[in-house]
A and B are shown apart, each in its own frame.
Chain A
Amino acid sequence: GAGVSQSPRYKVAKRGQDVALRCDPISGHVSLFWYQQALGQGPEFLTYFQNEAQLDKSGLPSDRFFAERPEGSVSTLKIQRTQQEDSAVYLCASSLDLGGTDTQYFGPGTRLTVL
Chain B
Amino acid sequence: AQTVTQSQPEMSVQEAETVTLSCTYDTSENNYYLFWYKQPPSRQMILVIRQEAYKQQNATENRFSVNFQKAAKSFSLKISDSQLGDTAMYFCAFVPRRSNDYKLSFGAGTTVTVRA
**A interface with B by C-beta (< 8 Å):** 3, 31, 33, 35, 40-45, 48, 56, 59, 89, 91, 93, 98-101, 103-109, 111
Could you tell me if B103 and A33 are in contact, using CB atoms closer than 8 angstroms?
yes
Given the known A-B contacts A41-B109, A42-B107, A42-B108, are A99 and B43 also in contact in the complex, defined by CB atoms under 8 Å?
no
Could you tell me if B50 and A56 are in contact, using CB atoms closer than 8 angstroms?
no
Given the known A-B contacts A31-B102, A106-B45, A108-B44, are A100 and B96 also in contact in the complex, defined by CB atoms under 8 Å?
yes
Given the known A-B contacts A31-B102, A99-B99, A100-B104, are A42 and B91 also in contact in the complex, defined by CB atoms under 8 Å?
yes
- Interface size on B, as a range, is 20 to 34
- What are 16 sample pairs from A and B whose C-beta atoms fall under 8 A apart? A40-B109, A42-B91, A42-B107, A43-B106, A56-B102, A59-B103, A91-B45, A100-B101, A101-B102, A103-B47, A103-B50, A104-B104, A105-B47, A106-B37, A106-B44, A107-B44
Could you tell me if B102 and A48 are in contact, using CB atoms closer than 8 angstroms?
yes
Could you tell me if A56 and B103 are in contact, using CB atoms closer than 8 angstroms?
yes
Please give me the residue from chain A that is nearest to B96 by CB atom.
A100
CB distance from A47 to the nearest CB of B (A): 9
Residues of A within 8 A of B93 (CB): 42
Within 8 A of A (CB), among B1-56: 4, 33, 35, 37, 42-47, 50
CB distance from B54 to the nearest CB of A (A): 12
